[in-house]
Amino acid sequence: MEHSGKVLLELFFMFAGGKLLAEVFERLRQPGVLGELFAGVLLGPSLLGLVHPNDLTLGLAEIGAIFLLFTVGLETRPGDLLAVGWTATLVAVSGVIVPFVLGFWYMKAVGYNGIESIFVGAAMVATSVGITARVLADLGALSSRAARVILAAAVLDDILGLLVLAVVSSLSTGQVHYVQLGIVAAEAAAFALVMIFLASRVIGAFHPHVEKLRARNSAFILSIILCLGLSLASTYIGMAAIVGAFLAGLALADHSDRWKLRENAHPLSEFLAPFFFVLLGVQVNVRTFATPGLVNLASMICILAIVGKLVGCGLGCLRLGFKDALRVGIGMVPRGEVGLIVAGVGLTLHTISDAVYSIVLVMSMVTTLAAPPFLRMVLPPPSPGPEIGQGNGSVENGV
């Protein structure tokens, strides 16, 4: 009973604290997600110590991210992503190359060894679309051209980031397994392409059978099974689980109105997603900034991480115009948990020091915190109409 009470108390602090500060930030005309992140920093071990990362909170946070991206996928039709396919590809590729080169070059210039420099560069390659997706959803901008480019590029970015991480991990052991690397790349690409091109049609073919099921909300139940199943498949391939969740929502997007999937999924996402954002803040160790010289080094890495995505991703879609290029660049800035995963791999392999891990940790959190307010500044204000999640099929700045 005592253990149960402690667990429930932490969950209470996370949800209530996150929502309370989200309301404060909304009243200050800032994204509510920033309030949830700051709530995590305040509640975490380095300040108030009321919430600690553990298996339960980490698992709940991952489920929150999964259902957030699943809901985003439900509002993004496959045809919308295909319409920006080449642009998204250029954004993803240039958004990998530029940050990696900047991170690697700077770490080498200040005296770090090759492997540690490569790991920092690899962490700067990552993009965590969860933060951006939340801000876009809050502003009702998921149907905009910039949002479609960001979401499509994020899927490709995850595949490219997976390959970079695989190469870096191999280098840290002294050899590169090219055959295994090729297999992983082929699996990841095939998985994404099948879900984008074929999954919606296959689901449509099963529509009559779904209608015959006797369980209440049978279509929604099956959609949750598909979401969790594809998230699991993503992890087995080596991609982030949130990519599988997004692709599951994408496969169901054309059938969402008929089966009222968005209507059912949004309350679930509203409950679970805050745990993801609060826990990101919980993992920030404020005391890290007291390390001599670390603040200056981390500050420079943060600047290069932001500039790398702004320049790399912005140049990739410059033909869309400066405003959309700026929106895409800012939208691809957050590293979030993806950058932390890269750093965690390096720490597990004993190839990077605690100082380098702290640098990546600070970079991941600063880019995650910096993107939402700037994204809100460059996005047009939400237009009056149906509430977020109801979907009206309109496209802002259509291609």
Q: Does residue 383 belong to any structural domain of this protein?
A: no
Check which CATH number belongs to the domain holding 350 and give it.
1.20.1530.20
- pLDDT, tens digit, for every residue of 192-212? 778 777 887 788 777 677 667
Task: Print the domain residue range for 202.
Answer: 2-378
Is 395 a domain residue?
no
Q: What is the pLDDT of residues 312-337, one digit of tens each?
A: 999 888 888 898 899 999 989 887 66
53: its two tokens: 């990362």
Tokens representing 342? 């890269």
Let me know if residue 347 belongs to a domain. yes
Structure token pair of residue 119: 């790991």
Question: pLDDT of 327-386, one tens digit each?
Answer: 999 989 887 666 666 666 666 667 777 678 778 878 887 887 788 888 888 887 665 544
Give the pLDDT score at 311: 92
Name the band, by pLDDT with cuts 50, 70 and 90, for residue 398. very low
384 within a domain of the structure (yes/no): no
CB-based contacts of 67, cutoff 8 Å, min separation 6: 227, 245, 265, 268, 269, 272, 273
Whether 15 maps to a domain, the answer reads yes
The domain total for the chain is 1
Token look-up 């080498």 returns 108
Q: Compare 257 and 269 and report the one with higher pLDDT.
A: 269
What per-residue confidence (pLDDT) applies to 388?
Answer: 38
Does 385 map to a domain? no
Q: Kindly report the average pLDDT of the chain as a whole number.
A: 79
Dist. CA 79–CA 29, nearest whole Å: 33
Report residue 127's pLDDT band, with 50, 70 and 90 as the boundaries.
confident
Please answer whether residues 275 and 68 qualify as being in contact, where contact means their C-beta atoms are separated by less than 8 angstroms: no
* Structure tokens belonging to residue 88: 């998204």
Q: Residue 77 falls within a domain, yes or no? A: yes
